[in-house]
Amino acid sequence: MRVKINGQEIEAAAGETILEAARRHDIPIPTLCYHAAFGGQGHCRLCLVEVAAQGDKRLVASCTYPITAEIEVSTSTPLIERLRGDIIRLLYRQAPGSELMQDLAREYGCLDEFITEDNREQERCILCRLCVNACTALGASAISAVLRGVDKKIATPYDEASEACLGCGACAHICPTGAIPLQDEGGNRTIWKRDFELLPCEVCGRPFITPEQRDYLIARQDDLDTGLLCDDCRRTRVARQMEPFR
Amino acid sequence: MAQKAIDPAVRILVCCGTGCIANGGLEVLAALRSGLAHRNDMEVESSDSALVTGCHGLCAQGPFVRILPQDITYCRVQAKDVEEIIAKTLEGGTLIKRLLFRDSQRKEFISCRQDIDFYRHQHKIALRNVGEINPDSLDEYMERGGYQALRKALEDMSPDQVIAEVTRSGLRGRGGGGFPTGRKWLSCAATADSPRYIVCNGDEGDPGAFMDESMMEGDPHSILEGMIICAYAIGASRGFIYVRDEYENSVRRLEKAIKDARARGFLGTDILGRSLDFDIEIVRGGGAFVCGEETALLRSIEGEAGEPRDKYIFPSEKGLWGQPTVINNVETWVNIPVIIVHGADSFASVGTESSKGTKVFSVVGKVLHTGLVEVPMGTTLRRIIFDIGGGVPRRRKFKAVQTGGPSGGCIPESGLDMPVDFDSLRQAGSMMGSGGMIVMDDRTCMVEIARYYTNFLAGESCGKCTPCREGLRSLLEVLTRICHGQGNPGDLDRLEEIGETMRLASLCGLGRTAANPVLSTLRYFRDEYRAHISQKRCPAGVCPELTELYIDAVLCNGCTLCVKYCPTRAISGQVRQVHVIDREKCIRCGECVSRCNQDAVLVR
Amino acid sequence: MTAELRKEETAEEFHKLIQGYPPEKRYIIPIMHELRRCYQYLPRPALEMLADHMQVPFSQVYGVATFYKAFSLVPKGRVNLKLCDGTTCHIKGSQGLIDEIYRTLGIRPGETTGDRQFSLETVNCIGACALAPALIVDEKVYAQVSNARLQEIIEQNRRGEDGTESN
């Protein structure tokens, strides 16, 4: 299926989203809630683009809009840029504590806006829900989006330490704004109000995995017979195994 | 008084809509039944003559008792009045004046319903049975032509013909969007997928709207019949009625209607002996305004949080559990049997070029006759609010009418002569919504009203997409500041900017319209905003920080009425002497303003 | 229809209730409705059992429970005052009633008195706008409630049905 993005003709698969097609052809569209592993969610609305089809123009979220016809897409117009700036401004007001939002606000020229609501200075979450997706994809599903409207937040049930949590930290790693506190200290990890023990790497001795995550991986029959290796040591070993094939 | 036997043909209709029940309707019904049962000369079963009906519409005057065939309507009836009704009217054949409707403009008492202005100007199609039949009786529904449309569709029409007829009628969705119903059905029927589903949206979440409720509890079979006809047209096997959590009566009456329809073979397998299998179940909402949005409602039926999704693919192609689904609102379904029986042309003969048929409005707020009003599309707001609704009570001035629910807009006096239909309301910066109309008088502060709606929506937004969630948060912040007298000159432009972003960038219909209350009041009442910001004054005298009430020494006649009603005893003054408001004690509730017969309480 | 008698909050009762529904996701909300009818709130052990029964993560059940306004995660008082704060009721003075309830009982919307006698919640619109402001106590709708009437209603409900103090 041939579509035109910013005048450039590209080939797209039917049903593929505009964002995916654009990315494959290195056409940049800004996003905050998109991750290739989970697909489009349509949450942040930063990826708005203009679609022209049958003489009709409209704004759509490129991460959820499926290509089903030969359309023309503009990823940037003065209106789109104004809206993106305003979305950044709104998100910056929501999460002024996040460095990413500070940088983006600077880039879009809306940093000067004063924050009136008290006790929001520390807030970093922009509710992109990548953490929830990561936690669900890993199988733990310890966190979810709770409440609604302006009270919406990401939390464990009853805001308490969750039994389902494996302490893997995937949520904190994927978070674009550093909103999920993860503390590794002296062989212990604290995340979502729960304390975990950390087991050491068999090679370098660095504490890196919680027993809960290890048991979970074993139960899923992931390849652990090579031993408990941290990411660095595993990479080194794999590289060494590959050497004869070079 | 010469006592006569009660005419055995008498039928006494007692309104048992939610409004009348709250005012004692059930007690009136019980008193009537026991009163009639005690009359030995009654030739008929007492319970056959005192009948429950759905809403009569004029809720502020309830409970209603309507006596047929004489057609006498009594208002504000209480259980203690029943004995007198039986003795004087049923047996004695005389009217009880104090229970009659009093037309305050014409200054006369009216006994026959059709002579009351409120009813005279209405045109009932969707509400044709509401208030006329016992909603629990399938027989009464059938006596008034019920299920004839279904028979006609199944016996004389092909599914395509049914869809064509609905398309030709020009019926547009009554739930808010105004999407052509026929096109929705066609697009669903055109998919290759099955099973297909049918959903009735009865999640009437707009504060100030109760027309869907009145139909669900007053005429449930019409909804079922509309859905069954659609099932035949698009080939669906299962239907769901999603009823708002709070509507207990609706659930009960729909349950009974479904049971009766099954027993008579209108639901189930081989409906009317044809090879049509279709059944309906009720799903209770969880109390979320956003579930009025159709993709959110479908999520809710599936057992999830009601968060909408982008509608680039319509539910008619991928809806409930990913299957093709037709979802229409209660009032839309109720119109279907009429279109099939009387034909598309007859239906389309009422209304305007772009909006056919009638629309039910719930007219509430500062209006004399609050209640349900059904008028042809294209009727002016003035006719609805003044001729039918009786205008603004207590000699106050009309200021605005909010249409379309919380995410609708406020229309000022200059818009009163606008014919109401889907497109005219949108042009005026508001929308049809499901038909709520809230009338506001000059004691309503438009900034505070915008703040109220924004606050409502901030709690009711699903919170999924940025523009809606964060836009509402920012709007609310700015509006609250303005109401507290801390507004800045740049605020109005910022409000418009945020509103525009919400309108263009939000994910669903709720978010895209959520700034309407702010944008429409800014458009029509900008001066009122300016007064709050630059003069630190609330012209309507509502925002406490910006209001001072005082009594005009010349106008005050010292009647002490305000003293009596002041909740904080802030007013002092002797009879026939000028009264004074203590500024410290006054909470600016405005009770004195509305009570004063001399209009002597003024806003500084 | 008045609320069903409150059942005992035991695992057996929860089990009986939940097992009455097929383990399909779409029954999550109907089960929550029934829990609410029986207990006036959603007890945590019941929600955990519900998640097990449906084979869905507890976090997801919690997300659903907190999304909908009909469900409370904290116990309600013996008498639940449901005040309509829809538009009509709002412009006809429901805020004044909220303040009056606070002055009388010391509770705000969403709260329950210390003795678990009263709780207060606001609802958006009960569809009785002609009767604004409206208050619902145990399914009974009180119309055009004034502060004085409110006091009477609270007094009536302080006592049990037989007119005796029910503390």
At residue B521, does pLDDT exceed 80?
yes
Q: What is the dihedral of CA B300, B306, B312, B314, to 10 degrees?
A: 30
Is the pLDDT confidence value at B48 over 80?
A: no
CB B402 within 8 A of CB B408: yes
Q: What is the CA B194 to chain-centroid distance, rounded?
A: 35
Do A223 and A140 reside in the same domain of the chain? yes
Q: Does A112 fall in a domain?
A: no
What domain count does chain A have?
2
Strand partners, C81: C120, C137
Residue whose C-alpha is closest to residue C120's, from C140, C105, C139, C141: C105
pLDDT of residue C68: 96
Place of tokens 């505070």: B448
> pLDDT confidence of B1, banded at 50, 70, 90?
very low
| A150 shares its domain with A240 | yes
Burial class (CB in 10 A: 0-12, 13-18, 19+), B57: buried
DSSP state of B387: I
Asked if residue B448 has pLDDT above 80, the reply is: yes
Q: How large is the greatest C-alpha to C-alpha distance in chain C, in angstroms?
A: 51
The domains of chain C, with CATH numbers, are 11-67 (no CATH), 79-158 (3.40.30.10)
**Closest listed residue to residue C55, CA positions, set C25, C77, C85, C27:** C25
Mutate to test the interface with A, among C48, C59, C73 (most CBs of A within 10 A): C59
Residue A91 lies in a domain: no
Q: What is the pTM of this model?
A: 0.90
Task: Give the per-residue pLDDT at C33.
Answer: 96
Mean of pLDDT values over B125-149: 95
Altogether, the residues listed in chain A come to a count of: 246
Asked if B589 and C96 come within 8 Å (Cβ–Cβ), the reply is: yes
Phi, psi dihedral angles at B327 (to 5 degrees):
-120, 125
- Helical axes B516-524 vs B491-505, angle rounded to 10°: 140
Cα(B494)–Cα(B498) distance, integer angstroms: 6
The phi and psi torsions of B153 (rounded to 5 degrees) equal -60, -45
Token look-up 């630190």 returns B536
**How many CB pairs below 8 A link A and C?**
32
The number of beta carbons lying within 10 Å of the beta carbon of residue A72 is 15
B6, amino acid identity = I
Query: What SS3 class is residue B279?
Result: strand
B138-348: CATH topology is Rossmann fold (3.40.50)
Spatial distance between the Cα atoms of B275 and B265, rounded to a whole number of angstroms: 12
Report the C-alpha gap between A33 and B465 in whole angstroms. 10
pLDDT of res. B280 = 98
Question: Taking CB atoms and an 8 Å cutoff, what residues of chain C touch A145?
Answer: 63
Asked if residue B408 lies in contact with residue B91, where contact means CB atoms within 8 angstroms, the answer is no
Q: Which domain holds residue A212?
A: 130-245
130-149 of A, contacting C, C-beta below 8 A: 136, 141-148
Strands C118-123 and C79-84: parallel
The number of angstroms, rounded, from the C-alpha of B602 to the middle of its chain's C-alpha atoms is: 34
The C-alpha of C61 sits at a distance from chain A's nearest C-alpha, in angstroms, of 9
What is the CATH number for A59?
A: 3.10.20.740
Based on the fold, state whether residues A143 and A240 are members of the same structural domain.
yes
Q: Which residue of B has its CA nearest to C84?
A: B207
Which other chains touch chain B, taking contact as 3+ CB pairs less than 8 Å apart?
A, C
C66 contact residues in A (CB cutoff 8 A): 146-148
Q: Please give the pLDDT value at position B244.
A: 92
Q: Which of A146, A162, A164 sits opposite C63 (nearest CB)?
A: A146
C interface test, pick of B23, B252, B443, B569 with most C CB neighbours within 10 Å: B23
Residues A70 and A137 in one domain: no
Q: Say if the Cβ atoms of A149 and B469 lie within 8 Å.
A: yes
Q: How far is C60 from chain B (nearest CA, A)?
A: 8
To the nearest whole angstrom, how far is the Cα of B558 from the nearest Cα of chain C? 24
> Does the structure show a pLDDT above 60 at C162?
no
Q: Give the single-character DSSP code of A12.
A: -
Phi-psi region of A46 (alpha: psi -120 to 50; beta: other; left: phi over 0): alpha
State what percent of residues in chain C have pLDDT above 70. 86
Of A43, A16, A14, A13, which is closest to residue A31 (Cα–Cα)?
A43
Query: Given the DSSP bridges, would you call strands B50-53 and B11-15 parallel, antiparallel or unpaired?
Result: parallel
CB neighbour list of residue B249: distance below 8 Å, 6 or more residues apart: B16, B17, B18, B21, B213, B217
Report the pLDDT averaged over residues B133-140.
95
Q: Which residues of C touch A141 (CB under 8 A)?
A: 57, 59-60
Ranges B20-34, B41-55, B508-522, C39-53: which has the least confidence? B41-55
pLDDT reported for residue A144: 97
Q: Is the ipTM of this complex over 0.90?
A: yes
Nearest CA in chain A to B468: A149
The predicted pLDDT at position B3 comes to 56
Q: What pLDDT does A118 receive?
A: 61
Instruction: Give B240-286 pLDDT, tens digit per residue.
Output: 999 998 888 899 999 999 999 999 999 999 999 999 999 999 999 99
Q: How confident is the model over B278-333, as pLDDT tens digits?
A: 999 999 999 899 999 999 999 999 999 999 999 999 999 999 999 999 999 999 99
Q: C52 near B367, Cβ under 8 Å?
A: no
Q: To 10 degrees, the CA torsion angle through B387, B388, B392, B398?
A: -60
pLDDT above 60 for C142 = yes
- Summarised one tens digit per residue, pLDDT across range C4-26 is 456 788 999 999 999 999 999 99
The count of C-alpha atoms lying within 13 angstroms of the C-alpha of A119, restricted to the half-sphere facing its C-beta, is: 0
Residue A17 lies in a domain: yes
Evaluate whether B356 touches B347 at the Cβ level (below 8 Å): yes
**Lowest-confidence pick of B181-195, B339-353, B568-582:** B568-582
Cβ A146–C60 below 8 Å, yes or no? Answer: no
Beta strands in C44-157 (DSSP E): 79-84, 118-123, 135-137, 140-142
Mutate to test the interface with C, among B18, B330, B394 (most CBs of C within 10 A): B18
Q: Is C62 on the interface with A (CB under 8 A)?
A: yes
For chain A, positions 36-65, list CB contacts with chain C under 8 A.
none
As a whole number, mean pLDDT of residues B390-413 equals: 90
Strand runs labelled E in chain C: 79-84, 118-123, 135-137, 140-142
Q: From the list B458, B472, B505, which residue is nearest A45 (CB)?
A: B505
Arithmetic mean of pLDDT, B430-444: 89
Distance, in Å, from the CA atom of A57 to the CA atom of A77, rounded to the nearest integer, reads 12
What is the per-residue pLDDT for C3? Answer: 44
Tell me B199's DSSP state: E
From the CA atom positions of chain A, what is the Rg in Å?
22
Q: What is the pLDDT of residue B543?
A: 86
Residue in A83, A93, A152 closest to B504 by CB? A83
Give the pLDDT score at B332: 97
Exposed/middle/buried for residue B447 (C-beta within 10 Å: 0-12, 13-18, 19+): buried
Give the distance from residue C42's alpha carbon to the nearest chain A alpha carbon, in angstroms: 12
Q: Tell me the domain boundaries of chain B.
A: 11-120, 138-348, 358-441, 446-534, 548-603
Q: Which residues of A touch C67 (CB under 8 A)?
A: 146-148
pLDDT tier for residue C139 given thresholds of 50, 70 and 90: confident
Tell whether A7 is covered by a domain. yes
Looking at residue B11, what is its pLDDT? 87
Q: Which CATH class is domain B11-120?
A: alpha beta
CATH of B548-603, one of 3.40.640.10, 1.10.3720.10, 3.40.50.150, 3.30.70.20: 3.30.70.20
Considering only A28-32, A87-91, B442-446, B582-586, which range has the smallest mean pLDDT? Answer: B582-586
Answer yes or no: do A141 and C59 touch at CB < 8 A. yes
The answer, yes or no, to whether residue B22 has pLDDT greater than 80, is: no
pLDDT at C1: 35
**Predicted local confidence at residue C123, as pLDDT:** 81
Q: Report which of B387, B395, B389 is spatially closest to residue B371, judged by C-alpha positions.
A: B389
Residues of chain A with pLDDT under 50: none
Fold of B358-441: Ubiquitin-like (UB roll) (3.10.20)
Longest dimension (CA), chain A: 64
3-state secondary structure of C59: helix
Kindly state whether B501 is in contact with chain A, defined as any CB-CB distance less than 8 angstroms.
Answer: yes
- Spatial neighbors of A244 by CB under 8 A, at least 6 apart, are none
CB contacts < 8 A, B to C, total: 137
Identify the three-state secondary structure at position C64: helix
pLDDT given at position C166? 39
Chain B residues within 8 A of C143 when measuring between CB atoms: 22-23
At the topology level, CATH places domain B446-534 in de novo design (two linked rop proteins) (1.20.1440)
Question: What is the model's pLDDT at position B434?
Answer: 82
Q: Angle at Cα B476 formed by Cα B472 and Cα B480, nearest 5°?
A: 175
How confident is the model over B143-151, as a mean pLDDT? 97
